[in-house]
Structures are given as C-alpha cells and as structure tokens.
Chain A
Amino acid sequence: MKQSANTPRRGWGQGPLVQIMLSRLREFYREPEAVFWAYGFPLIMTVALGVAFRNQTDQPIAVDVDSSVASAAQSVEETLTKTPRFQVRLNALEECRVRLRMGRTDLVVIPRADSAGGYDYWFDPARPESRLARSAIDDALQRAAGRQDPLATADREMVEPGGRYIDFLVPGLVAIGLMAGGLWGIGFVTVDMRIRKLLKRLLATPMRKSNFLLGIMLSRLVFMIPEVIFLLVFARLAFGVIIQGSVLAVAFLVVLGAFAFAGIGLLVASRAKTVEAVSGLMNLVMLPMWILSGTFFSSDRFPDAAQPFIRALPLTQLLTAMRAVMLEGAPLLSQWPNIAALAAWGGISFLLALRLFRWQ
C-alpha cells in the first residue's frame, strides 16, 4: 500500500535526534529575550562582581571622628589626612553612630576627654573592612604618638593572575551559569511544552522518548557553549583571567557540567504540571548549591559536619574540578572523582527522568 517512491534514503540531518535538537535551537534563537537572559545576564554578573571585588589594596578607608572635643578631633584629623587612603570626617557623635550603622563609615574614633588622652574605637566587628579600618587607624595614631615597632617588616603583595578574587570567581560563574541554564532552560521549556500539549502530540508519533529527552539535553548543551566561551573571553579581556590548565580540559568539564545539570533539569521537570510548580522545585534544588557550593567564597568556611553533604552536590564537584584546572593547571585525570560523580548525576537523572516523565 505504501509508495516506496516516496521514501528516498534520508540523511543524518533528517534523523529524529538532530531534528529535535534543531527545533529546540531554532525556537531558542528566535526568542530574543531568552537569548539575552542566557548570554547577557552572566556577563553582566561577571562585570558587576568583577568591578565590586577588583583588587582592593588601595581601597579607601572611611573614618569619622567625634567632634565633641574640638581640639583633639582636629589633631586626629591632621594626623590621619597625611595618609591619602584615609577619608576623614568630623561629625557629632550621633551623626557618627548613624553613619557607622548604615555602613557609610568604617570606623568612628572618639578622642577621650580626660588629660591622659587616648581614643575609643567604635566599629562593627562583623564587617571585615570595619576591622581593617580599626587596625590601620590604630597603627597610624600609635606611630604618630611616637610608637616604635621592635621588628623590621616589609610587605609583599600577591597580585599574580590566578590568585586574585576575580580568578576565583570566574570558574564559579561559569559553573553556576551551567547550573542555572540547565535547570531553568530545560525546566521551563518542558513544562511549557506539557501545558501546551505539545508533548502529547509528540507522544502520538512513533518518536522514541529517549530521543526526545536526549535531544532536549543536547540542545541545551549546544546553547551553553557560546555562553561559556563568551564569559571566558570577556573575563580574559576585561580582567586578565587566564586558564592555567588545558583549554581542552576546561571544555570537557563545561560539556560534562552542562550534561549533568541538563539531566537534573529534566528530572526536576519530569512531573511538574505548572510553571509555578517547576519554579519552586528548581529553587529548592538550586538554593543549597548557590549557598553551599562555594561560588563566591570557599565552601571550607562551612562546618566540617556539612562538608560531606557539600561535596555531594554537583555544583561543588564541577566548581572544584573547574578551579583545579583553571587556577592551578591541574591535569584532568586528577579530578576523576569529581568527573565520575558529575557523570553519574547526569546519567542517573536522565534515566530516572525517562521513567518518571509525564507526557500529558
């Protein structure tokens, strides 16, 4: 009954996996907003964080001096203004208190009224810059009062690329980009397709379910590649962030990370029937990783008891491996436990999603 003349041999480009990927890529690139959020947002974040945390050696220190004892206050001002780094203001004590509380000043110096002289330092011990200001100002005032340091010391500064905060930050941004992209990108798209009954229509064809899920994952992976390249090139040009290890190793980790988070994204989206439900689930999954995995500061700061849990998170594994390769130039093989764990996250999530996936 079938007309065989209708069915010439079809090339690989007409195969279902390629077609599913192409469809997803086309839909994505035809949505300018999606492109902006996928590619522009991580870049903006890098710029913002890079500027905020650029080398802070000469960060100014803001000091307020209580002006109630006018002569003492003026002599403090005179002493401190010799150091250009100190930004000194004379204010009434109440004004000083408000400014300290709001973080507008790092330290308040209160000259003592009694004949022996001396100062009270008022600062916020929870703010690193406030503690820094206390010790720097104390040093300056003690020396001005004639203190002699018994030991000779000299400063050497660590400014070598690879050791700065921005170097620490960029692999983290790449990793959270892969996480957020994998989860949001896949989660929203699949739930949207479910709501619009597109999945039901596809289910009505002989399409293999594994092809569909794999196609969605792979297309996500393809989107991520320009995003990561963009970010790394930008970080290189703007902040001089260089990759110490092999570029191929970084590329491998990026692909593996995208795969792992795409798999997790599919799993998270496998049952959700509404966008609200999937958003909640994704936040639930991502929040612990945002906080614990050490994107913005080293996760070693969390208590020892939490460390096994933190190490089990895929973002931690990706971050650790990325930093080892990018910052320390470690060979890829040295990261095999992290690599194996990430592959397991992606593979197991994919297989679970295949079983649990709700098509209509």
Chain B
Amino acid sequence: MTLAIRCSNLTKRYDGRPPVDAVRGLDLAVEDGECFGLLGPNGAGKTTTIEILEGLLQATSGEVELLGMRWGRDDYNIRQRIGISLQETKLAEKLQVRETLSLFRSFYDQGLEPAEAMEKVSLGEKARTWVGKLSGGQRQRLAVACALVGDPDLLFLDEPTTGLDPGSRRELWEIIRDFGRRGRTVLLTTHYMDEAERLCDRVAIVDQGRVIALGTPRELIASLGGEHVIEFTVAADPDTRLQCSELESLPSVETARREADHLSLSVGHPHLALPALLAHLESRQLELASLNTRHASLEDVFVRLAGRSLDAEATPA
C-alpha cells in the first residue's frame, strides 16, 4: 500500500504568552484509498494538524508528505490533486451555487463540471440560488462540492458535520462514502465518535496534540477488553463505598472505574456480569438506583485513555 499522507514528528507552537503547543510530535500514515479520521475533543490540535497537512499553516517542525510530494516544492501540483473543506467555509453570499462552483472549477486543470459536482451533493435544484439563501446543511454540502470539483485524489474535511441536523449529517456521510468507494482517500476531523465509527476505516484519537490511540474503530473498542459497558449508580451509602477492585473480580468484568456520578464497568459478556453484579450488590446490602447497558464506543476508548469525556474542552497541560 502506498501512502497518501505521511507526517512524522509534527509540532506546532503558537507564539504568545504563554506559548501554546497545539501539536506535540504527531505521526500519521494514511494509506491510499482509506477514510481516516482524526477524533478528539475541541482544542486537541485537530484543526492545526489538518491545516498543516493542507499547506495552510507552517509547522514548527516535522515532515509532511502528500501523495509523495512536499509543501514548499510541489505546492501547485499538490493543490491540483487535493480538495479541502475548511472548518466553517464562508463562501461569497451573493453568488449562485452554480457560479461558485464554476469559480472553483476554473482553478483546476481537470475536474468535474459544475453540474456534476452539484449532482453529487444533491444541490442540482439549487443551482441558481444565492449562497446566502442556503440552509446550513446545504452550505456545508456546497463547501464539500467546492472541494470535490477538482476531482481530487485526496479530500480533507475539517469538522464536516459540526452544527448540522441529523438528516444533513447523514446526507454528508453518504457523499463522503461515495467518494471513498471510488478508491479516493479522505482525511477528516471530528469530535463526534459516531461519525468516526460509521465513516472511518481507521481512526487516530488525538488529545493535547498527540495521537493517543490508532486503529480501526473495532480494534480500538476491542482494546477496552470488553465490547459492552454497564453503568450503574447505587443509593448513597458513604460507609460502604464500592471499590473498583471488588467489581473487577466479578465474572467477565474487564475493568471498573468510578466516573463523576456513576460506576462504569467494561464487560465482555453482559449475561454473565449482570447477575453477578446484582448478587454482589445484594450481599453488600446496596440498593441499585440506576442501571444501563450498552455497546462500547470510541467515546469509552477516549475516556479510558484521556481520563475525561470527549465533550469536555481539552485542558491545557
């Protein structure tokens, strides 16, 4: 497999008081034809990383190679072969959809006709609508169409579905999958774990400017030890606090951790673990206040590795 993106030991420091290290030694190898996700909380360094890869930001140090080419040497040729959708692309409000795509198309040596690009993102009926009159989801689709109009080999999408309603998100996922089916490479950033799970062949979980886990969503979830999660709370009883160690000795429970307001067990087989848990609580004379079981997600992987949830802002180290 050849690599579409390779970067090694990437760092980015923003000068200031104090200086901020947004990216601290990040390595990536994205294979040709895969859909690769950078997953992490806000402030993890995802956008900085993707903009360095896109050649829009200068890295403080490190190497980047796209499609076998390097920024600073082959800029024009790289740009001809990549498509970019920025986080919040603001396009000219008073241009029509078709006019916007004609403008973007004019920069590429080869690519799609504007009509084809509109078709791909289902904006054909909006061809003569002003960009300013489009809904949020339609604008985002147009932003992706602008990235697709040069018929790129490599597509960068920064938070493509942030702020969109569920319907618009699914439409965009379908557009991205369709692009991937034609053997092209996608690198996207997201802080939605479901997006990464559904869309990405492989995911790098990023936190505080580093990759803290890398693999297929399935592998990452499997690395938790159990593919199921049992979350429960007990009626308060300060004298007999449950110990994680006693819970981990229950059958099929891989790990146990105390979170803010509940206890969370990573479990291989719920049908073994659940009866044992209930019996254990009974023997400790604790009353179950709530109980919930579900499949493990990438969120659980992040929580395990980072010690906090994805929704929380990254705390500066």
Contacts and interface: CB of A to CB of B under 8 A. Distances in A.
Interface residues of A, number: 29
12 contacts: A6-B112, A18-B106, A19-B106, A23-B92, A23-B103, A26-B95, A27-B95, A31-B94, A197-B88, A198-B91, A198-B92, A203-B56
A2 interface: yes
Interface of B: 54-56, 76, 79-80, 84, 86, 88-92, 94-95, 99, 102-113, 116, 130, 146, 150-151, 153, 183
Given A23-B99, A204-B54, A206-B109, 5 more contacts: A6-B110, A16-B106, A20-B103, A26-B95, A197-B89
Contacts of B110: 2, 4, 6-7
A4 B109 CA distance: 11
A198 B108 CA distance: 18
A31 B94 CA distance: 8
A10 to B, nearest CB: 8
Among A15, A26, A30, A201, residue most surrounded by chain B Cβ atoms (within 10 Å): A201
The 8 A-B residue pairs with the shortest CB-CB distance, nearest first, are: A206-B79, A19-B106, A7-B110, A204-B84, A30-B94, A207-B107, A205-B107, A16-B106
A204 B76 contact: no
A360 interface: yes
A205 B91 contact: no
A316 B112 CA distance: 49
B203 to A, nearest CB: 24
B245 to A, nearest CB: 52
Among B103, B104, B116, residue most surrounded by chain A Cβ atoms (within 10 Å): B103
Given A6-B151, A16-B107, A206 B76 contact: yes
A206 B151 contact: no
A185 to B, nearest CB: 15
A73 to B, nearest CB: 67
A1 interface: yes
A122 B213 CA distance: 93
A101 to B, nearest CB: 52
Nearest to A4: B110
Interface of A: 1-4, 6-7, 14-16, 18-20, 22-23, 26-27, 30-31, 196-198, 200-201, 203-207, 360
B80 A206 contact: yes
A28 to B, nearest CB: 9
A293 B301 CA distance: 71
A204 B54 CA distance: 7
B104 A205 contact: yes
Contacts of B94: 26-27, 30-31
Contacts of B111: 6-7
A206 B108 contact: yes
Contact of A23 (B76, B95, B112, B130): B95
B79 A201 contact: no
Contacts of A31: 94
A287 to B, nearest CB: 31
Nearest to B182: A1
B106 A6 contact: no
A14 B291 CA distance: 62
A14 B105 contact: yes
B56 A1 contact: no
A15 B89 contact: no
Contacts of A1: 153, 183
A6 B84 CA distance: 20
B56 A198 contact: no
Nearest to A15: B106
A2 B108 CA distance: 13
Nearest to B78: A206
Contacts of B102: 14, 19
Contacts of A360: 56
B79 A205 contact: yes
B51 to A, nearest CB: 9
Nearest to A28: B94
A30 B183 CA distance: 41
B150 A201 contact: no
A311 B105 CA distance: 45
Contacts of A4: 110
A201 B80 contact: no
Given A196-B90, A198-B92, A201-B90, A6 B116 contact: yes
Contact of A19 (B103, B109, B153): B103
A200 B92 CA distance: 13
B151 A204 contact: no
B151 A201 contact: no
Contact of B113 (A2, A6, A16): A6
B107 A206 contact: yes
A1 B103 CA distance: 24
A204 B86 contact: yes
Nearest to B102: A19
Nearest to A206: B79
B150 to A, nearest CB: 7
Nearest to A24: B92
